Structure 1
């Protein structure tokens, strides 16, 4: 069982447009609403693969009620923590060529008592979990050290923890030695304070974060592929995506594939890349099912191609 924690969940509304013209009245060719937030997306991908998952998240207002109902429709148990504010709504506009315009709301402010109840819910629901995946930005009211508290709590319960966040919250959590962190290329560059031009640059940056406390790093490098750095070595994999429709939630699908395949080693990396490649070929933030995966499209190597530029565009 994989427990996910999403401190700032959302309802994700996606509109497919024939074109994006500023100032015009636009009619959507298609639209959908999905339960969102990075940890929620991980739960959705885990559930789509037929595994058990529990999603811990603060939920408030009619939007929070709808998010809980949508999770139930996906076969996900929601461990919701009631809050006074309303769950945020994010908007994604998709153009025919695959260009995405995203509008992410800030979300509600979390009170001190609500934050404590959130931690207590994680503690109570962690029994029997194989992994805890803590994902996304922190909402207003939660300090950068909050994820560090959560990592310490998870290890105290004897549960491995994956952390997918960025900025000050990521740096503050590293001394607590999260079992795996999952930055993208931009977040990795931000964490080490310099631009990254090649996979070799990303490898050095990931090794630095391991030196600061991360036990392993799973770095999403966009269309280039994914890099895994762990005590046993460094591995790289990429995959073909025939038709990119939306990259919303693709990184979350990758993390779900990685964790559900054991959370370490070459096999788990290949699963992560297969899940990410499948996700970008689906509309909105739809998570892939096993039928959507194409393991034959994954190319991997234990010898990281250090000179490969990080600017390759998606097909």
Structure 2
């Protein structure tokens, strides 16, 4: 089983428009409402592939109840930690060419007691899990090292732990020695404090992170695919060209595919990129199902360190 912990889940409303013009009135061509939050999305993708999963999340108000209702048809088991403030709502505006503008609320403020219950429930669930996935932003009231604390909770329960976070929360989590981190290119650049324009530079940072105690580093690179550095070696994979409908949740789908395929090595990377590629071809934050994948079209090879990255980050 794979347990996901999402400290700051959301209701995600996706609005499709022809083009976004600041200050103008826009007519939506389509609107979707999906359960959201990075760990929630990982569980959604795993459930679509009939992989046992549980989504652990704080839940408050009518929004929290609606989030659980939306997950029920997707067969995602939910463990809710009741909180006093309502779950947040996010909006993504997607243009016809796939350009996505996201408007994320900060989320509710959790009390120390609510955070403590979240950690306790994570440990209880991790005792029955292969992986504990701790991911996403931290709402107000959460300690900056919450992901790091969940790494220790997961390890103490005997589970492997993956972290998908950013900024100081990711830096703190790395110090706790997770089994896997999954930053995107911008998050890795922020973590390293340097510009990353070529694949070789990403490889160098990933190796430094491994040397500091993180077992595996999976970096999503947008249209350039993904890079993996773990105990099996260093690998780069790129998927087929795909018309982009939405980038929301693509990184979460990538992580779900990687864990579904075993959580290490080049074949897991192949599946991860197939999932991420499929996700950008789906509207809103819909997660791919196995029938959406084109795994055989994903190319996995050794790292070409001279490759310039289209999404180069500073």
Q: TM-score, normalised by structure 1?
A: 0.97
Q: How does 1:86-105 map to 2 (within 5 A)?
A: 86-105=86-105
Question: Once the 2 structures are TM-superposed, how far is the Cα of residue 312 of structure 1 from its aligned partner?
Answer: 6.1
Question: Once the 2 structures are TM-superposed, how far is the Cα of residue 20 of structure 1 from its aligned partner?
Answer: 1.8
Residue in 1 aligned with 2:20?
20
The runs of at least 4 aligned residues of structure 1 exceeding 4 Å deviation read none
Give CA-to-partner distance per residue, 1:42-83, whole Å, 9 cap, x none.
000001111111000001111000001111121011101010
Give CA-to-partner distance per residue, 1:191-232, whole Å, 9 cap, x none.
111010100000001111112221110001111110000122
Q: Choose 223-232 or 4-13, whichever is displaced more.
A: 223-232
Residue in 2 aligned with 1:186?
186
Give CA-to-partner distance per residue, 1:266-315, whole Å, 9 cap, x none.
110001000000000000111001110001220111x20111111169xx
Check conservation: 2:13, 2:90, Cα contact below 8 A. yes
Residue in 1 aligned with 2:309?
310
Matched, 1:177 2:177: yes
Q: How does 1:109-258 map to 2 (within 5 A)?
A: 109-258=109-258
Which 5+ residue runs of structure 1 have no aligned equivalent? none
Check conservation: 1:241, 1:278, Cα contact below 8 A. no
> Counterparts of 1:37 and 1:158 in 2: how far apart (Å)?
25
Matched, 1:40 2:28: no
> Counterparts of 1:244 and 1:153 in 2: how far apart (Å)?
38
What SS class does the counterpart of residue 196 from structure 2 fall into? coil
> Counterparts of 2:227 and 2:234 in 1: how far apart (Å)?
7
Check conservation: 1:270, 1:298, Cα contact below 8 A. yes
Give CA-to-partner distance per residue, 1:3-23, whole Å, 9 cap, x none.
000000000000111222333
Residue in 2 aligned with 1:284?
284
What SS class does the counterpart of residue 237 from structure 1 fall into? strand
Question: Once the 2 structures are TM-superposed, how far is the Cα of residue 128 of structure 1 from its aligned partner?
Answer: 2.0
Question: Once the 2 structures are TM-superposed, how far is the Cα of residue 241 of structure 1 from its aligned partner?
Answer: 3.0
Check conservation: 1:241, 1:280, Cα contact below 8 A. no
Matched, 1:261 2:271: no
C-alpha RMSD of matched pairs (Å): 1.2
Check conservation: 2:232, 2:264, Cα contact below 8 A. no
What SS class does the counterpart of residue 304 from structure 2 fall into? coil
> Counterparts of 2:284 and 2:195 in 1: how far apart (Å)?
30
> Counterparts of 1:97 and 1:106 in 2: how far apart (Å)?
28
Check conservation: 1:241, 1:281, Cα contact below 8 A. no
Question: Once the 2 structures are TM-superposed, how far is the Cα of residue 242 of structure 1 from its aligned partner?
Answer: 2.6
> Counterparts of 2:18 and 2:259 in 1: how far apart (Å)?
37
Which 5+ residue runs of structure 2 have no aligned equivalent? none
What SS class does the counterpart of residue 123 from structure 1 fall into? helix
What SS class does the counterpart of residue 310 from structure 2 fall into? coil
What SS class does the counterpart of residue 304 from structure 1 fall into? coil
Matched, 1:72 2:72: yes
